[in-house]
Amino acid sequence: MADVYKTCLFKIHNPSKRRRAMMLDCLRRNERAYWKVLDAVKSDAEDDAIMAKQVAEANDAFKIEFRERKQAKRSAESTKELHWKEQMQHLRELRRDKASVVRRKIDKLLQELPIPGSSSGGISIDALAQIKSTSELLVGGQEANWPKRRPIEDSYLDGLDAMCKAVTTEELTTAQDLINTKPRDTNTVRPMSIYRNDLLLARSTLLLADEKGRIFVWLNVHDSKSRFARKVHVKDMVNLRTGELLNKSSSAGELFPLECSNWHLEKFVRDGTMQSSKLIYRNNEFFVACTFKLSVEDVDTMNYLGVDRGIEMLAAWAVVTPDLTVLASGDAEGSTLRDYQRAAEERFKQTQARKGFSGMKWRAFGDHAIHTLANVIVAQALEHKCQVVLEDLTVITQGPHHKRTKGQRRSNFARMLNRAQYAKLEGFLEYKLTAVGLPTPVKVRAAFTSQGCNKCGHSHKDNRLDQATFKCVSCGHEDNADHNAAKNIASKRIYWQEVGPKVSGKKMQDKYKFDSWMKQRRNLET
Ligand SMILES: [Zn+2]
């Protein structure tokens, strides 16, 4: 059993004018409070980043001492090693203490603000998460800017005016900042995070059903002094999280009917446990995004699905049984992606422009293609109960001084998916496979997988008629080159499970090599 988190977006059904005003008022208060908190903890965030850096440095120093001791095969810890270990623990404690001081500071600040209980809990968690992620980025050597709120007014004209009057470079920079600052769209507002779903109506989100099976959400949107606050009776409604009947009154919020299909009900509400939620306002509509924890039954795999980065296709996949029978194969077409890539490269060459919007668009386009491919692979893997097998790119060395070993692939040569995209595919597959109860991908070295024949095991570089067609010089077997490679990648995992443990640590004898193994297996069958 694996725990999976999925978020479901429910639309609030046709809210009246009063209810819309009520929600917007709540969201705006929430946003103002959030920025107030962020302003208040900015210097604490800077302190935290410094402390996080100190922890990381102590950790690095400790690791060096530790590694030296392991290399020297000493069992006793050195004084230096002990020093850094203690230092690290001490600094970590200091950082934790400081974090709880900040937490109390935030809570105190929020107590005085006119916001509902659910909002204050969410802001505190969101702000602390912001501090933590900023520190992590800085420690990792990345840029991290403390979030800045956008002004409501368009500052362009003021900026232009300031630019004309500017004399010093500082004045010029300020003016440019003004010109470049995009005004805030007053129709959007920051979503409100709610992390509670217990029975206390003054701080929770609850999913409820009435006797007719209609689904409602209880949202805590009022503070005690809100002009919208009035008593609401929750009568004989089923709490969908606990299954218990709820009878309560409160003036801390409101019941809103949700648009919810049976599919949503089945998929999330019935099988999942609600964790947290967000009230969202977009394009004049209100939504509640609820995150559910779902338990997924583990699938026992019996077959193998190999994925090859295609030359003609974006990628090809094949399902192979343990006795090397091919159950299914297919590919994801990638010509649109390639056209787009080429056009983008061409544009880049001509204009020598910096990567701007087109780079962004291109990445989004590529991501979309990779997501679609991942979905196909997961669907196939689930249907045939497969362990997904990918090509291990970490073993491929690059650069002119590295000679490729025999049979090794040219790393990115003419491949539709480059290294980064393949890593992305792996990432997508990892969570998508976990979400359906399948194991995460395993990897094999791709050597010989594009020139070996999946029918007879004969491996030769002439086994290719052209880029797209595989034709075995020994048995005459013909196949699409990408499909053949995908079958080999899946087979190679089977091979490695059978042969791998026997040859670990020694130089591999020819009879244990992949192509010999393949030949033996295929000959045994015929
Ligand atoms: Zn052959």
For residue 525, count other CB atoms closer than 10 A to its CB: 9
User: Is 7 within 8 Å of 291 (Cβ atoms)?
Assistant: yes
d(CA 511, CA 484): 22
Predicted confidence at residue 259, as pLDDT, reads 92
The domain at 2-29+188-296 falls in which architecture?
A: Beta Barrel (2.40)
Reported as a single tens digit per residue, the pLDDT across 105-129 is 999 999 999 999 999 999 999 999 9
CA 392 to ligand 1 centroid distance, Å? 24
CA of 66 to the centre of ligand 1 (A): 52
How remote is the CA of residue 327 from the centroid of ligand 1, in Å?
19
Instruction: Answer whether 80's CB lies under 8 Å from 72's CB.
Output: no
| Span from the CA of 493 to the centroid of ligand 1 (angstroms) | 19
The CA 157 to ligand 1 mean position distance, Å, reads: 73
pLDDT value of position 254: 95
Ligand 1: distance of its center to the CA of 302 in Å? 26
Q: What pLDDT score was predicted for residue 143?
A: 80
Alpha helices by DSSP H, listed for 352-404, are: 357-383
For residue 460, the CA-to-ligand 1 centroid distance in Å is: 10
User: Measured in angstroms, how far is the CA atom of residue 45 from the centroid of ligand 1?
Assistant: 63
The pLDDT of residue 355 is: 46
pLDDT at residue 138, as a whole number: 87
Q: What is the pLDDT of residue 349?
A: 65
Q: Confirm if 5 and 292 have CB atoms less than 8 A apart.
A: yes
The alpha carbon of 476 and the centre of ligand 1 are apart by a number of angstroms equal to: 6
How far does the centroid of ligand 1 lie from the alpha carbon of residue 484, in Å? Answer: 11
Distance 404 CA to ligand 1 centre (A): 24
Q: pLDDT digit string (tens) for 285-301? A: 999 999 888 888 899 99
What residues pack around ion ligand 1 (CB closer than 5 A)? Answer: 453, 455-456, 458, 472, 474-475, 477
Decide: 442 and 306 in contact? Cβ < 8 Å.
no
User: What stretch of H or E contains 238?
Assistant: strand 232-239
pLDDT at 438: 94
**Cα of 457 from ligand 1 centre, angstroms:** 6
Q: Ligand 1: distance of its center to the CA of 468 in Å?
A: 16
Q: How far is the CA of 441 from the centre of ligand 1 (A)?
A: 28
DSSP annotation of 6? E
Q: How far is the CA of 473 from the centre of ligand 1 (A)?
A: 7
Nearest alpha carbon to residue 274 among 255, 288, 259: 288
Percent of the chain as helix, strand, coil, to the nearest 5 = 45, 20, 35
* Residue 522 alpha carbon to ligand 1 centre in Å: 10
CA of 449 to the centre of ligand 1 (A): 13
List the structure tokens of 244.
């218990």
Q: 303-525 belongs to which CATH class?
A: alpha beta
What span, in angstroms and rounded, lies between the C-alpha atoms of 486 and 446?
A: 10
How far apart CA 126 and CA 120 sit, in angstroms, is: 10
Task: Assign 3-class secondary structure to 70-124.
Answer: HHHCCCCCCHHHHHHHHHHHHHHHHHHHHHHHHHHHHHHHHHCCCCCHHHHHHHH
In the reported structure, the alpha carbon of residue 329 is separated from the centroid of ligand 1 by a whole-number distance in angstroms of 18
Residue 427 in tokens? 């990432």
Q: What secondary structure letter does DSSP report for 234?
A: E
Q: What does the alpha-carbon distance between residue 40 and residue 157 come to, in Å, rounded to a whole number?
A: 30
Centre of ligand 1 to C-alpha 494, Å, is 19
Measured in angstroms, how far is the CA atom of residue 524 from the centroid of ligand 1?
15
Q: How far apart are CA 522 and CA 510, in angstroms?
A: 17
459 DSSP 8-state letter: B
* Beta strand 245-250 pairing with 232-239: antiparallel
Report the separation in Å between the CA atom of 477 and the middle of ligand 1, taken as the mean of its atom positions: 5
Ordered mean pLDDT values, 10 residues apiece, the chain (526 residues): 84 96 94 94 93 93 90 86 93 95 95 92 93 89 82 84 87 86 79 90 91 92 89 92 90 93 79 90 92 89 92 87 93 73 67 52 75 92 96 62 54 65 88 90 87 88 81 90 93 89 64 85 69
